[in-house]
A and B are shown apart, each in its own frame.
Chain A
Amino acid sequence: MSVLHDLTLHEALDALRHGETTSVALTQAILERILAVDNDIRAYLTLTPEAALAQAEAADVARAAGRDAPLLGLPIALKDNISTQGIETTAGSKILDGYVPPFDATIVRRLKAAGAVILGKTNLDEFAMGSSTENSAFFPTRNPWDLSRVPGGSSGGSAAAVAAGEALAAVGTDTGGSVRQPAALCGVVGVRPTYGRCSRYGLVAFASSLDQPGPLTRDVTDAALMLQVMAGHDPLDGTTWPEATPDYVAALVPDVRGLRIGVPREYLATGLQPDVERAVRAALQTFVALGAQVEEVQLPHTDDALATYYLIAPAEASANLARFDGIRYGFRAAGDFETVGDLYARTRGAGFGPEVQRRIMLGTYALSAGYYDAYYLKAQKVRTLIKGDFDAAFAHVDLIVGPTSPTTAFRLGERTADPMQMYLADVFTLAQALAGIPALSLPCGFDADGLPIGLQLVAPALQEARLFRAAFAYEQATDWWRRRPAISK
């Protein structure tokens, strides 16, 4: 057995089931790893070591008594925009500094019921708005493969924690790529499920028609194990699918013979880092060698996704973030106020960071009288066309494959001055979110600087099993996912 903190979830589960280790030993090993590397990585905003060890002990007692569960005794991390009862949940924002939720998000309840041990809460771009985790109000997280570079975002803390051995797996949220892009930049697997597959109850809302939680893991099997637990109908979220969750682990068959893979010509157009293009083309060759058919497809509205997303998501955010007013929870600006309106404005002016304020203003403008039709309604119509592109492509192919991100990890500070440059980091992950369809990123190589490259697989709505099957076949034929970063200053 390799070092405990390097195990996959399923390797650790095997070891627990065969009595080769205990949950307490696993949890201890990971807490020690966090102590050793998190001063450099800074993946965690909050650590709960005592509670984690108590949960691990309880898991060991349960196992000794003959009980088992899908994640019994496995230590994982949660992005800090996911509500955890009794554990501070900030969403990376000063406006929620000190907020302790009185309830668990539904996905947290499900993960706990499956026996998972919660290590703590991971760093993110404030309210999940960003692509580098530099928008955290507290501190940036660093990429375990190169500490001078970003881990991606907004689930950068979760991706970095998994890559650095600071959790066996983690949960993130994906509104426009916030699980897949950091997974790609940190060399781990990340899944955005179909919209409605997982409950949003207890997520700190960003854009309600786009938000979906998803797992970040070391391999495809682990992603299937996690999503199996997280997915399912929730009476507390009317947008969850009522259908039963398929058996994702049963889908892990390394056979893609006859699978029709579409490659959008728009995804391999200019602007791609040459090493990324090379790795994606090599991955397509691997699929061909495994018996899949690769053909070109067209997604003609690809270039409109960025503008569409940056009208719709901020519009929804401007409404959702109206609740942060300094009255019911979180930060309140100091001072005496003439009116409640003054309290709102000063609290929100001081409590939100620049990117959040930018998006609130953009969304407010797009929804305001005189501009609604030209911006918001127009974007909703183009959203229909973007979704239609995928429907048309999936009439011919089973799966769409391309890069997750146009570049590998960029340097801290490189894109912070120009919001448009930062937004371009998500250019390949926005359209799937707008269409509500599932997508998965997994490692497919490294660039000349040794930085990981992500391959994105995209399936029609509710076809996560198809993603897992194809990703598993590719993973078994390659060994990119086995590499671990040598963390050095």
Chain B
Amino acid sequence: MTRLTRDEVAHIAALAHLELSEADLALYQEQLSAILEHAARLQAVDTDAIPPTASVLPLRTVLRDDEPGPTLPTEEALANAPAARQDCFVVPPVR
């Protein structure tokens, strides 16, 4: 595995919606590269016939009866919002 470049780290930060300084990008470039270098050891493990494990639970269908229950009142759902108006969250333009 190759070392991450500064631009790759900036691309990952953009995908993750993280606004970072140049100093942060440089630090994460070093640290993430070191972690990925360790992770590269997995490439040596033979997994050709091995299925992936996404969950340790036995596969089963989990359905419950569709019974109405209490829900959060609007004012409680909005109580923690940094900005709310007329029963809605306030956000900048979505473009």
Contacts and interface: CB of A to CB of B under 8 A. Distances in A.
B93 to A, nearest CB: 6
B80 A99 contact: yes
Interface in B12-52: 12-20, 24, 27-28, 31-32, 34-36, 38-43, 45, 47, 50-52
Contacts of B14: 345
Contacts, number: 168
Given A238-B62, A310-B39, A326-B82, A361 B19 contact: no
B46 to A, nearest CB: 9
B47 A378 contact: yes
A142 interface: no
Contacts of B36: 362, 365
A102 B39 contact: no
Contact of B92 (A99, A238, A308, A339): A339
A311 interface: yes
A365 B3 CA distance: 13
Interface string A289-330: 000000000000101101110110000001000100111111
Contact of A380 (B4, B17, B54, B62): B54
Given A310-B35, A381-B51, A384-B50, A100 B94 contact: no
Interface in A365-422: 365, 368, 374-375, 377-385, 387, 419-420
Contact of A381 (B24, B50, B62): B50
A348 B18 contact: yes
B57 A339 contact: no
Interface stretch (A34-42, A56-64, A352-360): A352-360
Interface string B80-95: 1111000001011111
B35 A338 contact: no
Interface residues of B, number: 52
A433 B34 CA distance: 23
A127 interface: no
A385 B45 contact: yes
A99 B93 CA distance: 25
Looking at chain B's contact residues, the main secondary structure is: loop
Contact of A340 (B20, B56, B80, B94): B94
B83 A306 contact: no
A307 B38 contact: yes
B92 A420 contact: no
Contacts of B18: 345, 348-349, 352, 357, 360-361
A292 B67 CA distance: 51
Nearest to A435: B56
A221 B13 CA distance: 47
A104 to B, nearest CB: 13
Contacts of B12: 361, 364-365, 368
A433 B91 CA distance: 39
A380 B93 contact: no
Contact of A239 (B34, B39, B53, B57): B57
A26 B72 CA distance: 35
A331 interface: yes
A235 interface: yes
Contact of A344 (B9, B17, B50, B89): B17
A338 B93 CA distance: 7
B53 to A, nearest CB: 4
Interface of B: 1, 4, 9, 12-20, 24, 27-28, 31-32, 34-36, 38-43, 45, 47, 50-57, 62, 64, 72, 76-77, 79-83, 89, 91-95
Nearest 10 interchain pairs by C-beta: A436-B56, A380-B52, A349-B19, A329-B80, A332-B82, A381-B47, A238-B62, A345-B19, A337-B92, A344-B17
